[in-house]
Amino acid sequence: MTARRLLPGALGVLGGVVFLAAFVIEIPTEWNRWRIVLWDAGGIAVAVATFGRHAAVSRPLALAATIPVVLAGAGGILWTLLTFGRVSPFSGDFGLAGFWIGIGAALATAWFGLVAAWLGVVWRPAAALLAAGSLMGIAGMDRLGLTSPANPTIFGPIALTGLALAALAWVALGIGVMTGREPGRAAMVPVPARDPSV
């Protein structure tokens, strides 16, 4: 296990585990910001670490899947860091910018998961869960008005379930990066045709 695989893989696992922690314990607001930063950073790390393997199958698809995750994750990290010191970061134009960054990040992550599942060089179930969970998580975004603490609906549990699935998927993909295992890759390797003259 080399540092080249260990560091980004561990960051992906850490981001997913820390994100899941909020489902078990109450996390203070200031710590929660760093939890979101780790979530975005872990996603970027895993996407970049798997780029080479994806590019070996299809470089255009690898670029199309990786670049949005990196850009959206970087935007999310920047926005989250800028919330420090703000009393009401989710209101006004700043909050609107955060909403669109969140939408972009969810769509980018879902697209990455779909491409990864299609290319098959990472664990397909994890990639599929990442895609589905990311899309489900959108339902809980406040400005959509589908659910709220004052008016809870079925979209609340759907969103929370989706976020948990996405976090578990990042953990699984991070472990895959660390170990270098590619469960679905064998199916993508063409079998040489047998020479009938032999």
pLDDT digits 0-9 by tens, 12-21: 999 999 999 9
Q: What is the pLDDT of residue 187?
A: 38
Query: What total number of domains does the chain contain?
Result: 1
Q: What is the pLDDT of residue 185?
A: 44
More confident residue, 45 or 181: 45
Does the residue 191 lie in any domain?
Answer: no
Does the residue 189 lie in any domain?
Answer: no
At 141-170, the pLDDT tens digits run: 999 999 998 899 999 999 999 999 999 999
Does the residue 193 lie in any domain?
Answer: no
Does the residue 16 lie in any domain?
Answer: yes
Q: How far, in Å, CA of 191 to CA of 198, rounded?
A: 16
Q: How far, in Å, CA of 51 to CA of 159, rounded?
A: 28
- Per-residue DSSP letter, 192: P
Does the residue 119 lie in any domain?
Answer: yes
Q: How far, in Å, CA of 90 to CA of 18, rounded?
A: 22
Domain hosting residue 145, numbered range: 3-184
At 164-185, the pLDDT tens digits run: 999 999 999 999 999 886 544 4
Residue with tokens 């255009």: 60
Per the prediction, the chain carries an average pLDDT of 89
| b/e per residue 113-143 (b: at least 16 CB within 10 A) | bbbbbebbbbbbebbbbbbbbbbbbbbbbee
One-letter identity of residue 119 = L
